[in-house]
Each structure stands twice: as C-alpha cells, then as structure tokens.
Amino acid sequence: MKAVLFGASGLLGCAVLAELNSAGYEVLSPSHAEMDITDEKKLSSYLAGIKPEVAINCAGFNYVDECESKPELAFKVNGEAVGNLARITNSIKALFFHISSDYIFSGEKDDEYLEQDEPKPLSVYGESKLLGEKLAQKFADKFCILRTSWLFGPARDNFISKIVKRWKKGETEFKIVSDQQGKPTYSLDLARVIRLAVEQNLTGIYHFCNQGKISRYQLAKEVFEIIGEKPRIIPISAEQYGAIAKRPKNSALCTEKIETALKLTIRHHQLAIKDYLEKISGEIK
C-alpha cells in the first residue's frame, strides 16, 4: 500500500512513520519545507502525481497558548488546510486520515466524551481543530477522524519528558495543575491503531487514548513513583497556573467505539508510561 504522511517530524508523526515502515508500507513523508499543506495548488499537484491509496495528516499548529495570539495561522493550518487535503484526497479516491483533539470539547461533562457528543471548544486551538473536522467531513467521502489527548512518546518533548528533565537538572519541587482531567496517550500505541485502521479501511469519527482518567498532578506523581524518585509535587488550580488558553476541566475520551471496531484491548496509561520511560532512560539528562 502506498501512503503519504504529513507531519512526520512531529511526536505522533515519527511514531506513525516507524510503524508503517516496519509493516512494509511504501510511505512518502514530505517535510514542511518540501510540502506546505496550506499551499493548495502545490498540494494538489503533489498528491495527483503520487496517487496514494491513503493520506494521513499528523500535521498541525499544536501550540495551544500560541494559537490565542496567532488565530489566523491556527485556522489556516488546523482548519483550512485540512479542508484542502480532504478535497484533494477525495478527487484521487484516497482514504483520508486526520488527527483531531479532545480540546474540541468544553469539559463540562462529568462522564467520558462520546464521539457523538456536541463539541464546544474553549480556545482558538480547539475551534481550529473543530473546523478541520467539519471540513474533512464536508469534502471527503472516505475519511477517518481520530481524536486523541495528552500525547506523550519518544522523539519530541512532552509533559512527561519535561518534568523528568527538570528533576534531572536538580529541581525538587513541581507545581502541577490538579483540577483538569483527561487521558494520556502513548504515541506508539496510537500509531499502531492508525496502521490497523488503515488496513481495515476504517471510516468515521473515533476516539483513542490509553485507559485511566487522571489529572496532570496525579500523572506527575505516577511518573516519579515509576522511576523511584520523590520530589515535592504541589497541586495548583488552572487559574493559579495562569495558562493563556482555557483548557477543559474534563476532556476524557471514551474509546469503546474504536475498541469494538478494531477488536482492541487498550492498555492502561501506567503500563505505557513504564515502556516509554524505559525507552528514553538513556536519553534524558
């Protein structure tokens, strides 16, 4: 199978590229310099020339706070460009995979969010990701939207690697937000699911994350318990932290739909974190 992957240098994109290569796919992964997905004319020519059977979009402007000061760029990359990709992949009859976010939801729900729950984003980032979803559905006959959350994994810094690096550099006290909950997602687990979904021509909207609803405060405690360290971890509110963009209080995603569709058993995030920390143990200094 011939696949084209956009955003291959990102945290998730690196994992997806490795997963597809190991499965024997012919994968084209143009860099941003080689292919800017916001350039519709160039994108159209490129995809028409290679005629992939599947296009996977892991690209995005994912700096949540920065999106607040650069809304035009956020909507262009996370919204309009997704529409371009959907339209062009549809014209060449390719399956279009797009990665979306838990931040399309308001966080007002007590239970886990289902795929059919009404989106109500709180931030420019969330709004731009929702626009991308809408345009993908509007222009692509064959699409699969995978919403995920709290991504961590090798190749790029993330919440877990950042706090461990701070500890390694001598910090012994961490103030971590405790009043926002979600589900961590291991990039390698999600990459495997993307491969399975591609192989089974999965279409529609699905949620994927590892199991276990948790706050970032609780997550930090778990990370240091796993590595056997005991820094002082202080719970603070999101208001005290003072992030520019508003985050949902509860963005936990229900994964039953994709578990049923792909006959999956998704592991708990603690097991995934152990694997991740073992993988990067020699890299963090």
Q: What is the pLDDT confidence band of residue 284, given thresholds at 50, 70 and 90?
A: low
> What amino acid positions are annotated as catalytic residues?
125
The rounded distance, in Å, linking the Cα atoms of 124 and 68 is: 6
Query: What's the pLDDT score for residue 187?
Result: 97
- Residue 3: count other Cβ atoms within 10 Å of its Cβ: 23
The rounded distance, in Å, linking the Cα atoms of 103 and 120 is: 9
Query: What's the pLDDT score for residue 33?
Result: 87
| 256-282: average pLDDT | 93
Query: What's the pLDDT score for residue 272?
Result: 96
86-139 pLDDT, tens digit each = 999 999 999 999 999 999 999 999 999 999 999 999 999 999 999 999 999 999
Q: Is the separation of the CB atoms in 5 and 58 below 8 Å?
A: yes
Query: What is the amino acid identity at position 104?
Result: I
The rounded distance, in Å, linking the Cα atoms of 263 and 64 is: 33
Query: What's the pLDDT score for residue 280?
Result: 83
Query: Which domains are seen in the chain, by residue range?
Result: 2-215+243-280 (3.40.50.720)
Asked if the model's pLDDT at residue 53 lies above 90, the reply is: yes
| 17-44: average pLDDT | 93
Query: What's the pLDDT score for residue 282?
Result: 66
Query: What is the amino acid identity at position 155?
Result: A
Which has more pLDDT, 185 or 33? 185
Mean pLDDT over the full length of the chain: 95
Q: Which residue has the tokens 């591609």?
A: 198
Asked if the model's pLDDT at residue 156 lies above 90, the reply is: no
Those residues whose C-beta lies under 8 Å from the C-beta of residue 49, and which sit 6 or more positions away, are: none
